[in-house]
Amino acid sequence: MHPILFEFGSFTIYTYGFCIAVGATLGFTFLVWQGKKQFGLSFDKANTLFIVLVVSAVVGGKFFFFLESPAYYLKHVGQLFTGSGFVFYGSLLFCIPAMLLFFRKNKLPVLGMLDIMGMVSCLVHGFGRIGCFNAGCCYGTHTDFFLGVIYSHEKCQAPLGQSLHPVQLYESGFIFLLFGVLWVIRERKQFEGQLFLLYLMAYALGRAVLELFRGDEARGYIIPGWLSYSQFISLIVIIISGIMYFRLKRKAKLVAQSNRNQK
């Protein structure tokens, strides 16, 4: 596709980085808007939170990327610091504890803020996958389907000259759809934290399915050809999020019932 967006002499703007920047800008804008509207989050705190999350996402994404092939990256350390090469689950799993610590330290409502951050993540990740599509990373398997794409740019990471599933765009479209669903139900949520848990479960399920169309097998398998590392993590995320969802839902019902009894 188009891994390079612009070139000005020796100065290059890569499409992957540009898409991440667009998603981050929109995500930060959404955080400031909803954070202030719902919980009085100041611009300075929102800015600090976003910086913390960017650092956590980069460290986590690169750490999981390193784990895909430790022996190789120990010999080629420079490959870890290229413009691409992130593992989303690594970023997510590093960002969650960072968010929890930040919210508690700054006395912000943890579950309510997590609901906002679920939608923020959709914006950043959705545009990030568009960047993946242009860079050719996270590419799909071979297909004769009419939506298949053929990479020809030498800087693309996908196999050149083959018709591949545009799995990055499948995922991006799914993530933006998920954002829309969360936005619609936000006013009718039954308990704080519901949106974030729905985001985790829905994304994990969608990701597990989309893995069937992924062709970059370097990401690794727990059971070769059957269960990838991402599918395994998705399963764990679904189980843990599901347990938390029903616990919080049950707690909300008990509180509501208690309030009714006191009236």
Mean pLDDT of 90-118: 96
Give the model's pLDDT for residue 189: 93
Mean pLDDT is highest, among 126-135, 154-163, 191-200, for: 191-200
Q: Is the separation of the CB atoms in 20 and 153 below 8 Å?
A: no
Give the model's pLDDT for residue 215: 87
CB atoms within 10 A of CB 78: 7
- Domain borders along the chain are 4-262
In this predicted model, what pLDDT tens digit does every residue of 169-207 receive, in sequence order? 999 999 999 999 999 999 899 999 999 999 999 999 999
Give the model's pLDDT for residue 73: 72
192 vs 72, higher pLDDT: 192
Nearest CA to 132 among 144, 120, 140, 143?
A: 140
Give the model's pLDDT for residue 83: 55
Mean pLDDT of the chain: 90
Give the model's pLDDT for residue 82: 62
Q: Using the predicted structure, report yes or no on whether residue 74 has a pLDDT greater than 80.
A: no
Strands annotated E in 93-242? 149-150, 163-164, 221-223, 227-228
Give the model's pLDDT for residue 109: 96
Q: Is the separation of the CB atoms in 69 and 75 below 8 Å?
A: no
103 pLDDT band (50/70/90 cuts)?
very high
Give the model's pLDDT for residue 175: 98
Q: Is the separation of the CB atoms in 241 and 197 below 8 Å?
A: yes
